[in-house]
Amino acid sequence: MLFTVTIGLVIACLLVPFGKFFRNNKSIVLALVPFMLFCYFLQKIPEISSGRVLFESTSWVPALGVNLGFRLDGLSLLFALLITGVGTLIFIYASAYLKGHAYLDRFFGYLLLFMSSMLGLVLSNNIILLFIFWELTSISSFFLIGFNNTDDESRRSALTALSVTGLGGLFLLAGLVWAGSLADSYSLGDILNHADTIRGSVYYPVILLLFLAGAFTKSAQFPFHFWLPAAMKAPTPVSAYLHSATMVKAGIFLLARFTPVLGGTMLWQWTLMGVGGFTMLYASLLSLSKRDLKSLLAYSTVSALGVLTFLLGMGTDYAVIAACIFLLAHALYKAPLFLVTGIIDHETGTRDLTRLSGLGRVLWPVALAGGLAALSGAGLPFTLGFIGKDLIYESTLHYKPLWAWYFTGVAIVTNVGLVAAAFLAGVRPFTGREREEYRQVHLPGAGFWVPPLLLAVLGLVSGVFPGWTGAHLAEPAVKSIFQQYIPVQLKVWHGFNLVFILSLGTLATGLVVYFINTPGFRRWEFISVLERIRPGVVFGRMYIRTKQVAAAYTNFFHDGYLRSYIIKIILFAEALLIYEVYRGGPFRIDFSKLSPVRFYDIAIVFILVGALYKTLKTSSRLTAVVCMSIVGYAICLLFVIYSAPDLAMTQFTIDTLTVVLFVLVLYRLPPFLKVKALKVMVRDAAISILFGVLLAIICLRVLMEPARYNISDFYAKYAYTLGKGRNVVNVILVDFRGFDTMFEIVVLSVAAIGVYSLLKLRLKASEKE
């Protein structure tokens, strides 16, 4: 399973050098990647539906208990199929939709990155790994939302989405680590086994809330829902893929995955049902007041996510089965609706419902896809949506008697909104009178309308033969949510009972709402009142304030004078050192312990002081630089005498290069400023003397303190046996602390690239003049 996650990442990396090849017509080839993975997961269905769970593990950072552990059970398989299946069609659609875009290769790179991290998220069997992939989905979503990076609005919504989901991710990390430390393992299997320990712990409410913060932000539950409608700035394939079919369901996945660990308590039930119930009702009503097709669909997606949270919170057999089926049904009708909207937008240049009508004649395959998707979304009999809706009513009606009717009522109102929204998006633009301004609209290529049509037909087929879907997709998923076997038998026809009447009633009311909700109808504006209770405004204010503080902070510290930077840095270091000296309390210097002063030392110190004096007194910058380098070389000599050849060598070369650097920029610097003002001289002298004295105190202190030789002993002992080297310094650098070196050289490269690009940019600018 490792390869399913890495293959996308590898290809995304390969797109950096070879992306140009795919920029034109060949980008459709990339759809083979998700398609291949889809086939891989398809052939796993029989094995998983027979009740097996596949594991795979590669050690990664064993010291931290983090392994590349993957598990394929019913729940991950359902998600993996959605990710790769919808992904294949999205890839095909996107290569048509963004044809000729200058950064098409980059787009597919991000998309592959997203797909891989999403797969990693649903497959991971290690919670730290799960978190890494969780964050990667947020990051790739950030790039995809802000894909039109010249648009200010789309950059802002990308940042909003990243901050909201990223913040939730941090809470999730805390929750995961906490749960992991209670179970004493980061492996998901161990945590599932220690479910009772975690549920019985005093910290359970805190852990639960941390998890929920992660899940609710990701799955756009009220009050964090506002980032999702804003994320609709992304290109439409992204909205269809990430923001309706897959990524936003990561939160739902998390809830489902941890149901056996955290679920079943009163706190779990009421929080999830409360938040989910409110979100589904609120978003469903709000969606009806929207006139922009994409934001209509966005709110209806938020509502569907609310339904899923609500169902998982309820936690009964019926509810969890309903959640699995509704999850599938929703992906199969919402993604095509988004894609259809994208086609309409692409061909007519508008997504405004009040200006769209009568497109059905020209765009007939698109209309067919939209109509079928709308039927499934509305829950007409013989569609998967119908079965999903049935199961939702079954689960609310079978809940505790006192609450059953309230819940059913809420579910009915929500579903009426969803029905009307599905029809508005999938049918309205294609019916009605044909418009003059859309005369020249023509049917786009097959790459556009085949993917939505295929998805919509799939929603229909799986509705006609629900037995297979139930037994092979839903049943294993339900099994992994409950960790026990629960039979799932879906039928097209449940008989003429209360649930059926409710379903028909919902459909009829939804249709009435659809017909009332004409472009001219203004009465719905009372619903817009709901929009006033949105935390998005608060978030926007926080965003502006953060930027103001950052600007003020930068202006204070970044005044453009090198000397002022150095003063600030040194003063800060001095403050730390003073604190350290103060904390350490008084100490006594035992001169007898110090090594005797030799002739060499005196000579070197003599040179050092002379060079320093000359540095201060000279009136030429070049002399000052040379004198400073003499100071450096003198220190190197000290290193040599006190047997630190490695240090001396490095210091020596660095000093040489510093002088060279200085000489190079010498002519660029402003004229040498001989400081005359007494005030400045006193200030600088005070700061530098204090710094020197503090460092001297610290050094003496280090010598006096009883040394702890554990670390140096360890290195000296194991350098040869483990690192196979006699030069301990080098063994530490390349072996024991190799990661540090790795990061250091990365920092070096960043610095070099920074210098290069800054100067090159200025060179180019001056060349233009």
Partner 1 sequence: MRSTILQTASQYLLPILLLFSFFLLIRGHYSPGGGFVGGLVASIAFVLHSFANGVENTMRIIRYKPLSLIPIGLGISTASMLVPVFFRKPVMTSLWVPDQIPVFGNVGTTLFFDIGVYLLVVGVVLTILFTISLFSE
Binding site for partner 1 (CB under 8 A): 58-63, 645-646, 649-650, 653-654, 656-657, 660-661, 664-665, 667-668, 723-727, 729-731, 733-735, 738-739, 741-742, 745-746, 748-749, 751-753, 755-756, 759-760, 762-763
Name the token pair of 215: 């899940």
Distance in Å, CB of 733 to partner 1, minimum: 6
Provide the 3-class DSSP secondary structure of residue 595: coil
Given the complex with partner 1, which of 523 and 726 has the nearer CB atom? 726
Q: Which residues contact 550 (CB under 8 A, 6 or more apart)?
A: none
Provide the 3-class DSSP secondary structure of residue 124: strand
Q: Which residues contact 187 (CB under 8 A, 6 or more apart)?
A: 65, 67, 69, 125, 126, 127
Given the complex with partner 1, which of 673 and 746 has the nearer CB atom? 746
Given the complex with partner 1, which of 467 and 738 has the nearer CB atom? 738
Give the chain's radius of gyration (CA, Å): 33
Q: From the CB of residue 189, how many other CB atoms can be counted at a distance below 10 Å?
A: 15
Distance in Å, CB of 63 to partner 1, minimum: 8
Provide the 3-class DSSP secondary structure of residue 315: coil
Distance in Å, CB of 666 to partner 1, minimum: 8
Distance in Å, CB of 695 to partner 1, minimum: 24
Given the complex with partner 1, which of 62 and 401 has the nearer CB atom? 62
Given the complex with partner 1, which of 641 and 742 has the nearer CB atom? 742
Given the complex with partner 1, which of 676 and 726 has the nearer CB atom? 726
Phi, psi of 118 (to 5 degrees): -65, -40
Distance in Å, CB of 64 to partner 1, minimum: 10
Given the complex with partner 1, which of 399 and 633 has the nearer CB atom? 633
Per-residue exposure over 204-232, b if at least 16 CB sit within 10 Å of its own CB, e if not: beebbebbbbbbbbbbbbbbbbbbbbbbb
Q: Write out the DSSP string of 53-117.
A: -EEEEEEEEGGGTEEEEEEE-HHHHHHHHHHHHHHHHHHHHHHHHTTT-TTHHHHHHHHHHHHHH
Distance in Å, CB of 634 to partner 1, minimum: 19
Residue of 137, 138, 136, 157 lying closest to 147 (CA atoms) = 157
* Cβ–Cβ < 8 Å for 243, 232: yes
Q: Which residues contact 559 (CB under 8 A, 6 or more apart)?
A: none
Given the complex with partner 1, which of 13 and 573 has the nearer CB atom? 13
Given the complex with partner 1, which of 203 and 639 has the nearer CB atom? 639
Distance in Å, CB of 465 to partner 1, minimum: 44
Phi, psi of 569 (to 5 degrees): -65, -45
| Cα–Cα dist 160/539, whole Å | 8
Residue of 265, 376, 254, 268 lying closest to 325 (CA atoms) = 376
| Cα–Cα dist 313/738, whole Å | 47
Distance in Å, CB of 762 to partner 1, minimum: 7
Q: Write out the DSSP string of 257-290.
A: HTHHHHTTSHHHHHHHHHHHHHHHHHHHHHHHT-
Distance in Å, CB of 126 to partner 1, minimum: 14
Given the complex with partner 1, which of 6 and 197 has the nearer CB atom? 6
Q: What is the 3-state secondary structure (H, E, C) of 327-394?
A: HHHHHHHHHHHHHHHHHHHHHHCCCEHHHCCCCCCCCHHHHHHHHHHHHHHHCCCCCHHHHHHHHHHH
Given the complex with partner 1, which of 59 and 564 has the nearer CB atom? 59
Distance in Å, CB of 4 to partner 1, minimum: 17
Distance in Å, CB of 709 to partner 1, minimum: 22
Given the complex with partner 1, which of 120 and 426 has the nearer CB atom? 120
Given the complex with partner 1, which of 18 and 613 has the nearer CB atom? 18
Q: From the CB of residue 132, how many other CB atoms can be counted at a distance below 10 Å?
A: 16
Using alpha carbons, list the distances in angstroms from residue 54 to 7, 57, 660. 19, 10, 61
Q: Which residues contact 658 (CB under 8 A, 6 or more apart)?
A: 629, 632
Distance in Å, CB of 56 to partner 1, minimum: 12
Distance in Å, CB of 724 to partner 1, minimum: 5
β-pairing verdict for 54-61 and 66-72: antiparallel
Provide the 3-class DSSP secondary structure of residue 404: helix
**Residue whose token pair is 């002081």:** 609
Provide the 3-class DSSP secondary structure of residue 689: helix
Given the complex with partner 1, which of 439 and 726 has the nearer CB atom? 726
Given the complex with partner 1, which of 489 and 757 has the nearer CB atom? 757
Per-residue exposure over 465-492, b if at least 16 CB sit within 10 Å of its own CB, e if not: ebeebbebbbbbbbbbbbeeeeebebee
Distance in Å, CB of 745 to partner 1, minimum: 5
Distance in Å, CB of 750 to partner 1, minimum: 10
Q: What is the DSSP letter of 591?
A: G
